[in-house]
Chains A and B, each alone.
Chain A
Amino acid sequence: MDFSFTEEQELLRNSIAKFLAGNYGFETRRKIVKSDLGWQPEYWKQFAELGLLAAPLPEAHGGLGGGPVDVLIVMEEFGKKIVVEPFVPTVVIGGGFLKRASAALQQQWLPKIAGGEAIFAFAYAEPNGRYNLAELATVAKKQGPNYVLNGRKAVVLAGPWADQLIVTARTAGGPRNEKGVTVFLVDRKSKGISARDYPTVDELRASEIAFENVEVPAANVIGEPDNGLPLVEQVTDEAIAATCAEACGAMKALVDATVDYSKTRKQFGVPIGKFQVLQHRMVDMFTAYEQSVSITYMLTLKLGESDAARKKAASAAKVQIGKAGRFVGQSAVQIHGGMGMTEELSVGHYFARLSMIDAQFGNVDHHLRRYAALG
């Protein structure tokens, strides 16, 4: 058993931490999320130069041949600064699907992802589907060399920034059937796509995307037609691992900020950190964070195991993170008092992001149910 990082992994962490320390202070971040674009493409280029985007991708296509642990490292560091740039949609999800796609698609897209030249978004959730990945009203029908897509996708994070979409659609079967799900790579500029872009409460950007008779070449199917669900589940579990790592980073930042604040804020003539009830709450925050790190490591190490083992680990992690994120976020605000409620302090922004992470890829109840069903 070994929980240590390799020398390359430590280097990766240090280079990200150093870049973010110099370029992603909270005031800089504030400017980025308030800008028209809502993200900083310039930084994306620099992430590519630092090798972040290539880290988990295969060496044959411009990647560095790393794996889930590299993703964990990137996302923990991103979480500490609540970085908004679309690493999960592009590298973890886009890259995750494409490295299992046809040789032609791999060759075409993986080097672009590694080089920072393509941004992806994952269009899977639907207005009425909640968290069921197979509940798809979006349909794709084969017509000659193409599929024709019709339907609507909800809350596509990074949608406004993406030039490529990974879209799930039903090609056979009825609502919620496991069979009949197909995954497509769709150019965001395809004829028939219309989108409504908007900011989210956790300062990302998202789109509602409508597909009206959008033609997609059959060569853009990723994985097996009609049998895409296992792949969707796998990549989603990988995205869950990455998002859990982000949450760990964000919790770490909140625990540190709260402990620091409680040492300097004085009421009744003493630092509020002297009040035992707050001490215990901070201990519980710290414990929740440590437990979250542990379960995120567990998931990261189990991503390559059997489907059943991976799914169970992913759901377990998402439950722990959902609960811990809420507790740590709420406690950090509470212990900061009125200050915790302000836009000015970073605390509330971390709290917002942690609150929404619970809704992403299925909330606590969804994953408890999935976990229990796996036996």
Chain B
Amino acid sequence: MDLTFSPQEEAFRREVRSFIAENLPPDLKGRSRRDMTSKDDFVRWHKILAKKGWVAPAWPREYGGPGWSVTQRYIFNEECAEAETPLVLPFGIAMVGPVIYTFGNDEQKKKFLPRILSGDDWWCQGYSEPGAGSDLASLKTRAVREGGHYIVNGQKTWTTLAQYANWIFCLVRTDPDAKQQEGISFLLIDMNTPGITVKPIIVLGGVHEVNEVFFDNVKVPVENRIGEENKGWTYAKFLLVHERSGIAGVARSKKAIERLRQIGEAEKVDGTPLVDTEEFARKISEVEIELSALEFTELRTLAQESKGRMAGPESSILKIKGTEIQQRITELTLEAVGYYGFPDYHAFNDNEYPVGPDYALGQSSHYLNMRKASIYGGSNEIQRNIIAKMVLGL
């Protein structure tokens, strides 16, 4: 066991830091602190990283990854969080990409991976349905084989940022008579195919973040199926574990705590900085300690991965704790801004100077919005069920 970084790793950190300093457009810095939904903001940063070859830190080198060690990935994440870069959306890079290079055929790898890396394709995730949320395996969207095509009918929902997507990866039912998990296939569907309709769902705070996606006799070439027919659940499960391990968000939470402290310095309770009041100092310390524990839980998981052992069901801990900590920080931030939590940030347009201190802007909306974190990616109740069953054997 060793906690120090080698001189090479320190040099790597400096390299990353100066790259970000030189390449992060100033108007994008800190955008991710608020609820960000502009397409351009995501794409610009994605392309900057792609050009450098750094957009997919976890991908193997043969598919266009940078070939970094676990430690380098950790350092890279820390530096991005520190500089408050936009996030790289997970749907292409962290979700469908690894599925394609793990289970896809050569044609698929050649066709899709480069465009995921370059940011030319925008992917969205079509898993959930109105009737199939936590019980994902009960999904009903039907794909019927007709010659060289599947004909897809049904509906997906909660599809994040599908309004910008030109591709969607979907779980569809190909065998309605098999046991639930055994009749599912994994399809890649071009969003421009006739028969697809996207309808917005507005979430708390007035943000257009998710959508309903309808499929009406949508023709999908058979070559867009990943792996074998009716084996889609296996690939989906692989992806869910992948999704979970990325979800802890430790570096970003560290930065959010730093921001919270700055707000606490500026806010005065009877003349004393809020951070110096006993109650608040205690609360910040508590969440910071939880975060330290989580950081080391994540590092232990990563260390195992680097020895070639895939993260198992215990990675659900990362999802539960990571999202609880993110939510706790938003709670404390809302507390910290006091009355200036009231103004509805979405009601001010971009060229209008909003009311209250800058740091208060949008914090209440962000607090409300972050309740999603314990719901998406498998709710925290479901994660606990997974640990109970798979780890504790209950």
Could you list which residues of chain A lie within 8 angstroms of chain B, going by C-beta atoms? 125, 127-128, 130-132, 135, 154-155, 157, 175-176, 196, 198-204, 206, 208, 266-269, 272, 275, 277-278, 326, 330, 333-334, 337-338, 340-344, 348, 351-352, 355-356, 358-359, 363-366, 368-369
Does A154 lie within 8 Å of B340, measured CB to CB?
yes
- Cα separation A154 to B360 with both chains bound (whole Å): 13
1/0 contact string of B326-356 vs chain A (CB within 8 Å): 0000010011001111111101100000011
Does A356 lie within 8 Å of B364, measured CB to CB?
yes
Q: Per DSSP, are chain A's interface residues mostly helix, strand or loop, or mixed?
A: mixed
Partner of B279, one of A157, A333, A343, A369: A369
Could you list which residues of chain B lie within 8 angstroms of chain A, going by C-beta atoms? 128, 131, 133-135, 138, 157-158, 201-206, 210, 267-271, 277, 279-280, 331, 334-335, 338-345, 347-348, 355-357, 364-365, 367-369, 371-372, 374-376, 379-381, 384
5 contacts between A and B (CB under 8 A): A272-B134, A278-B381, A334-B375, A342-B204, A348-B203
Partner of A176, one of B204, B271, B344, B375: B271
In the complex, which residues of chain A have a beta carbon less than 8 angstroms from the beta carbon of B384? 277
- Cα separation A363 to B335 with both chains bound (whole Å): 8
- Decide: A337 near B344, CB < 8 A? Known: A201-B364, A352-B368, A363-B335: no
Partner of A337, one of B133, B205, B335, B369: B133
Does B368 lie within 8 Å of A131, measured CB to CB?
no
Does A341 lie within 8 Å of B331, measured CB to CB?
no
Does A343 lie within 8 Å of B203, measured CB to CB?
yes
Q: How many A-B residue pairs have CB under 8 A?
A: 140
Partner of B338, one of A348, A351, A363: A363
Does A200 lie within 8 Å of B335, measured CB to CB?
no
In the complex, which residues of chain B have a beta carbon less than 8 angstroms from the beta carbon of A351? 204, 368, 371
Report the minimal beta-carbon distance from A136 to chain B, rounded to whole angstroms. Answer: 13
Report the minimal beta-carbon distance from A13 to chain B, rounded to whole angstroms. Answer: 29
- Cα separation A368 to B280 with both chains bound (whole Å): 12
Name the residue of chain B whose CB is nearest to the CB of A358: B335
Partner of A199, one of B131, B201, B344: B344
Report the minimal beta-carbon distance from B210 to chain A, rounded to whole angstroms. Answer: 8
Does A342 lie within 8 Å of B203, measured CB to CB?
yes
Name the residue of chain B whose CB is nearest to the CB of A202: B342
In the complex, which residues of chain B have a beta carbon less than 8 angstroms from the beta carbon of A369? 279
In the complex, which residues of chain B have a beta carbon less than 8 angstroms from the beta carbon of A338? 128, 133, 157-158, 210, 372, 375-376
In the complex, which residues of chain B have a beta carbon less than 8 angstroms from the beta carbon of A269? 135
In the complex, which residues of chain B have a beta carbon less than 8 angstroms from the beta carbon of A272? 134
Does B134 lie within 8 Å of A337, measured CB to CB?
yes
